Chains A and B, each alone.
Chain A
Amino acid sequence: MSKLFPIQEIGSLAKPKWRTKGLRQPLSAQDLSEAEEWAQKLGINDFHDRAKGILKTSDDKTRTREILELSTLYGLRLFETAGVDNDGVGGEQQRVEMYEHVIKAVEGMNLLGHVHSFDYKYFNKGVAESKVSRKRPIYTPEFSDVTRYAHRAVKVPITGPYTLVDWSFSGYYIQKQRASSPKSRKIEAKREFLLDIVEQVIRPEIRDLVDAGASWIQIDEPAVTTHPEPQEMELFVEAWNETVKGFSCKFSDHTCYPSEIGYKVLAEYAPKLDKCDQLALEFANRDTSRLGVDESSREGYSDLKHFVNAGFSGEFGLGVAHVHDFTGNVSSGAGQAIGRDLIESPELVRDRLLFATKIVGDPVKIWANPDCGLRTRTWDVSFAKLANITKGAELARETFE
């Protein structure tokens, strides 16, 4: 792509009520009224025909399939209409969430129940009860719909092996370890579990995606920055390099919300990641909400220098919009706080991109994106944020013309 500051989504979008309800039970015409409104906004001209099909069918499986396909189409069109250049898989509408979606397709894993993540957000945590292997394709059915409907470039975000293992109970793998110290047992169990996930689950999936035409895989590894110890980071690098070995598509890493040490340790290891063409990282969450391209206004982006200093030469996916609740103050011109949402102004997005360019040194290497998936925001808010990212990127682009 030749234009500067292209826009990408990072992963999830909120699931509309009709999508969630429709997977559990038949829908009424009333249930689809929200979908009808958005069909007009997004230019989905065959909505009425599709709605008739969904309302008419008495077969749960058919209804589910049609709803998943339709919600993927909506996600793609929402991104496209907001001006996003790479539309991912349309907001991961076909996944429960990033962890559970994979674990359900893994032989040897059992979901034990929900644990707290933050506020009223939870995730269903799994345990390895035996050696793991892939039960069925995980992302390829969704990718098939995406390729049918996408008008723009796409990439496939997948949950990385390190994160899958880190967020699971190691059960079978820890029980079989013999080391005397609990810490040694944990790390040995993790390594064995991780390499099994890579070989038995993730690589077969990537093979299928590449065979189906995927040219860009985004590996989501939010867990990696939570364990900055050298032993853990080396394990992450080993797993990454095993994962991508032999594939010729583009790979990128998405990591967010690191522990207190920030991205410094990831920066140190990033140059060791084979075929890692891009790092898409959360920054807006830690930044001020005032305009400016000085270091103080843009303190949230200071970690970028660690990657440059460490010699990472790939692209950066720059988190320029916050994706969680916001209750702080917004300076004049930097955006609007509406309820629990912050809508960043195009000018704030522009300043973030320009400041990052100063550090990275080459605007060609910078993409603009939200910090993370937008699943916690409504579609209205997500659309407004993405539209302002698009406008902000245009403003930044103008300064180079």
Chain B
Amino acid sequence: MNIIETKELSFSYKRENDEKVVLDGLNIDIKEGSFTAIIGHNGSGKSTFAKHINAILLPCGGSITVCGIDTSDEKKLYELRKSAGMVFQNPDNQIVATIVEEDVAFGLENLAIDREEMHRRVEAALKAVNMYEHRKRAPHLLSGGQKQRVAIAGILAMQPRCIVLDEPTAMLDPQGRREVMDTILSLNRENNITIVLITHYMDEAAKADRVIVLDKGKVRFDAPPREVFREEEKLRDLGLSVPDSTALVHALRKKGINIEKETLTPKECAEEILSVTVDIRTRLKR
């Protein structure tokens, strides 16, 4: 079942006398429970698309339906935002309360949910992002990765079916990035939450089931990461790159070394290279 469907979705910013087209007739369907990464150079329309998913922006043309709700339907705005939550780049801009668990409960307070249910949901959300032991702490004393996980918990407490994350790791240190990526993967796999991840990090996109490449508001590639990252040259022309583990195999292939498989992680990459050395040795023995 599709949880997000767009039909000829278009958006442009209008100024006095010029018009800048940001989204140019997008047709993107996203299946419930999937993990989609969206990549593209600065200004390709990634964030603008993300902001359409929970009606921060409304289409200028075409339409977008999320969980069966047309995002232009103002009456269903609350229902929409409960179903599709959004996490932004800077965790400091998303935290409102002075205690972690109150911050997570903030969204629920506005939904008039009874106290017991609220406690249950906050507890479950904090456990899901592995922050339960920090529930009584002040958010400003947490690390970047921890803050970002609190922001995700705040969304989770609303029990969304879909979470959109717009460069959630751009400001985090390596450990924070790992924590947030692990959290995203586990929410997708264990809780069957649909994930739309916007990122500039190719190694993060490599972890998704599907990678959509946007350029000038249009879809340029839409395939599993292994197929998308095969097109290194075309991606570089679009201002993007591929994970280092993929680029290394491509560089070796150019030098005449026969590695067929596209590799996405250091482990896959090393295994393929080592299997080539084994091949050479066995051939020599014969």
Task: Judge: A and B partners, yes or no.
Answer: no
Residues of chain A whose beta carbon lies under 8 Å from any beta carbon of chain B: none
- Give chain B's interface residues, CB within 8 Å of chain A: none
